[in-house]
Amino acid sequence: MKYIRHENIFVLIGGILLFALLIWWIRSGDIRESKKLEEQNLEMDSITKMRSWRVYIIAGFGIIAFVLKL
């Protein structure tokens, strides 16, 4: 990790936590929705799955960007 100059460590840690919470929130929503659909003997459609993966990718890149700033 690079030496931190002119950067607030709390901003970096907060950004990492924000993106991690975003991933956790979307994942927990997917689990709840899939359980609800299983009770009705249905499956999650591809559009809903794609929306989740877009969020995972965006948040993953955000975490990587904040980690590389450290």
What are 6-62's pLDDT values in tens digits? 667 788 788 889 889 988 998 888 888 888 888 888 877 777 677 788 888 888 898
pTM here is: 0.68
Residue carrying structure tokens 């989740």: 52
Whether 70 shows a pLDDT value over 70: the answer reads no
Distance separating the N- and C-terminal Cα atoms of the chain: 5
How many other β-carbons are positioned within 10 Å of the β-carbon of residue 50?
Answer: 10
Q: What angle do CA 50, 55, 56 make, to 5 degrees?
A: 95
Dihedral, CA of residue 8, residue 18, residue 68 and residue 59, to nearest 10: -160
